[in-house]
Amino acid sequence: MADSSSDETCPEREWETPPDSFVEQANVAAADRDAFEERGWPGCWSVAADLLDWDRPFDAVLDDEGATRWFPGGRLNASYNCVDRHVEAGRGDETAITWEGKLGETRAYSYRELAGEVNAFAAALRELGVGEGDVVTLYLPMIPELPVAMLACARIGAPHSVVFAGFSADALATRLSGADSEYLVTCDGYYRRGTAIDLKRRADNACVSADHDVEQVVVNRLEDDRPVGDHHAYADLVAEHEGATVDPVSRGADDLLFYIYTSGTTGEPTLVRHTTGGYLTHVAWTSHAVLDLGPDDTHWCSADVGWITGHSYAVYGPLALGATTVLYEGTPDHPETDRLWEIIERNGVDVFYTAPTSIRAFMKWGEEHPEGHDLSSLRLLGSVGEPIDETAWHWYRDHVGDGDCPVVDTWWQTETGGIVLSTLPGVDRMRPGAVGKSLPGVETAVVDELGERVAAGEAGQLVVTRPWPGMARSLCEGAGWGARRTRTADGEWHYETGDNAVRDDDGYLHLLGRADDVVKVSDRRLSTTEIESAIVGVEGVAEAAVVVGADETAVQTSEIHAFVSPESNVAGDQTLRERVRDAVQEAIGPIAVPDVVTFAPSLPKTRSGKVVRRYLAAIASGEDLGDTSALRNPDVVGELESLVDR
Ligand code: WT7
């Protein structure tokens, strides 16, 4: 499908065009894109909002007096939009969620069944005392009760705060306290590679250290003995309220739908809040326009629902459009490395959305795995989370997409709520290695340190220059919760994304990685500062610096390297190494545990005493260090190179 016409602006990169068969059926064709854009910003976003059912129409698309408010005056309920309206439209028997369990079990919920369980659990939450505005924390693995609980919360206007089940008790406690959340829905445990993980014990420990009382509801996932202790059993609550109907609470467009924590530049987790009207509009529209989803589609977003990707494109986006969403509890290589392809084949998945870190693993395992399955149901492939290099792009398209599925690379963040940069698969050409352009209705720029736009071909920071509906609440309000919002000299509004990028002559953006200490490891966003603060809490540790190095196996994108400088009388030995790892595991969870711990007599520093992570990252990746003469202690760098123990 390569376009053979040579391209003047970027001769080394080829264009790819979507096949006619895709273009003909696409939700958004060139004429639709033009009609959207002709309305101008912000009015164009009313086209997106029309994908939803509003209890009360909004008075304006955007009110930007002082604070940014999308769809002021509008009222709606997210649970109604994701569930009831599809049943009312006569689609109650269609599948809403199809779940693939870790032990090979499957469970499907029709929209009618989903409505039944959401109503029953919403009634139960109310009876427990959950009112509008109360925050409910959901600490659950990838089981259907997680989206059910999210939708039940949305139904009664209680913002949910989903905490990734791989986080530690300490991390959960911080999040319970930070969100002032007095209700927790968790489960007894879950399976990871065949072993049962005791989630309930972690939840109990977190509740003990939270700064207020927490009422627990527990799903019985392991199906063995019921966990003991003071809590309500999810199954009992749902059974008691079977057949209940709970009227969806009409929420203001600007009222909060959920909280989600992410890793910011500081050592503290950052709380991000998303609104009901703006967020739901944004994810429904991008699911329609970029992922090309509709009611007849089966969509599989492989991200964990604990992260924003799962919220937006495994739950809210596809369900708002009445599609079927696939939820998979397991790992891609268990029991066999063809597990994903088997699931796609059996479920007739139309659109598959995953991360480059996974695609690189698939490449390593070999093309025979996808090729051993009939993947002809696939119509579109998506990529998210990090840059997808050209090799991975082509492999994905050729071996998963059978050579003719368009691939959409999608750039966005927890803070943006939904996709901001991509290509429209029914309209735009694709350029492997470049993410694409700003979506219609979104405006971005690449700027220098002063906020001035740089020329095409020059690197700078990616900023969004106009508000968009999915923007986190904090971005609407100026300062707060780690959001970065500035006004340049000419008074222009900028949201600084923290990512560096370069725009080519065609307006396609190439992402160059983060400008701060936020890193992506196996698709998880982590703050190196957060890991460092856990390490320096270990007795005997004087200083620590954490960097991410390239992983030689290339299965993961990267691995976490900790350079740790012990106190003068303390030995950097295996015991200390274990204590460092345990401390990170306890504070954050296994996802953040350093792969490599190197003990260093000291860390490379500038004359003003700042640790220069650039050199450490080069050492960790085995790269050339370049000129180290600006360091106060250049000798330590050579010494560190010899100390790294892989
Ligand atoms: C960071 C946001 C992506 C939404 C879910 C994760 C990086 C994301 C891409 C892409 C290059 C990407 C950025 C961004 N990122 N997508 N297509 N190409 N980089 O959201 O955990 O908040 O992470 O992921 O660095 O800032 P998140």
Along the chain (646 residues), what's the average pLDDT of each consecutive run of 10 residues?
44 82 97 97 97 98 86 98 98 98 94 98 98 98 98 98 96 96 96 85 95 95 73 96 98 98 87 97 98 98 97 98 97 92 98 96 95 97 95 97 96 97 97 96 94 94 94 70 50 84 95 88 89 95 91 63 95 96 96 94 89 88 84 87 76
Pocket test for ligand 1, best of 305, 464, 525, 526 (most atoms within 8 A of CB): 525
CATH code where residue 290 lies: 3.40.50.12780
Pocket test for ligand 1, best of 520, 526, 558, 591 (most atoms within 8 A of CB): 520
**Tally of CA atoms within 13 A in the half-sphere of 372 that contains its CB:** 13
Q: Give backbone dihedrals phi and psi of 588, rounded to 5 degrees, phi first.
A: -120, -50
Q: Distance of alpha carbon 513 from its chain centroid, rounded? A: 16
Closest C-alpha residue for ligand 1 atom 20: 413
Ligand 1 within 6 A of CB of 524: no
Write the CATH number for 523.
Answer: 3.30.300.30
The residue whose CA has the least distance to atom 17 of ligand 1 is 411
**Helix crossing, 145-155 with 111-127: angle to 10°?**
60
User: For the stretch 11-38, what's the b/e string if a residue is b when 16 or more beta carbons lie within 10 angstroms of its beta carbon?
Assistant: eebbbbebeeebeeebbbeeebbeebee
**Residue 30 forms part of a structural domain:** no
Cα-to-centroid distance, 512 and ligand 1 (Å): 11
Q: What is the pTM of this model?
A: 0.94
Split into its structural domains, the chain has a count of 2
Q: Is the CB of 410 under 6 A from ligand 1?
A: yes
Compute the distance from residue 9 Cα to the ligand 1 centre, in Å.
26
Is 265 touching ligand 1 by the criterion CB < 6 Å? no
Please tell me whether the peptide bond between 335 and the residue prior to it is cis, using omega within 30 degrees of 0.
yes
Contact 325, 319 (CB under 8 A): yes
The domain of 568 spans: 517-643
Alpha carbon of residue 120 to chain centroid: 29
Is 314 inside a domain boundary?
yes
pLDDT of amino acid 40: 97
Tell whether 76 is covered by a domain. Answer: yes
Residue 439 lies in a domain: no
pLDDT score at 637: 85
Question: Domain for residue 8, yes or no?
Answer: no
* Residue 429 CB neighbour total at 10 angstroms: 16
Report whether residue 501 contacts ligand 1, using a CB cutoff of 6 Å. Answer: no
Is the Cβ–Cβ distance between 298 and 348 less than 8 Å? yes
Alpha carbon distances (Å) from 497 to 341, 391, 450, 509, 580: 34, 26, 15, 14, 31
Q: Do residues 257 and 70 touch, judged by C-beta distance below 8 A? A: no
pLDDT at 557: 59
Q: Which helix (H) or strand (E) holds 569?
A: none
- Of 330, 353, 372, the position where a domain reaches its end is 330
Q: Is the CB of 413 under 6 A from ligand 1?
A: yes
Residue 50 included in any domain? yes
User: Residue 423: is it exposed, middle or buried by C-beta count within 10 angstroms (0-12/13-18/19+)?
Assistant: buried
Q: At 459, phi and psi to the nearest 5?
A: -85, 150
Residue 456 CB neighbours (<10 A): 14
Any ligand 1 atom below 6 A from CB of 309? yes
Q: Which of 330, 353, 371 is the last residue of a domain?
A: 330
Tell me, using a 6 A CB cutoff, whether residue 414 lines ligand 1: yes
Residue 310 is assigned to a structural domain of this protein: yes
- CA angle in degrees (0–180, nearest 5) for 35-501-351: 55
In a domain, 628, yes or no: yes
Query: How many Å lie between the centroid of ligand 1 and the Cα of residue 188?
Result: 32
**Distance from C-alpha of 335 to C-alpha of 14, rounded to nearest angstrom:** 38
Residue type for position 187 = C
User: Of 309, 330, 351, which closes a domain?
Assistant: 330
Contact 309, 303 (CB under 8 A): yes
pLDDT at res. 622: 83
Residues 6+ apart with CB under 8 A from 83: 96, 111, 114, 115, 118, 151, 319
Nearest residue (CA) to ligand 1, atom 19: 386
Query: Ligand 1: which residue has its CA nearest to atom 8?
Result: 385
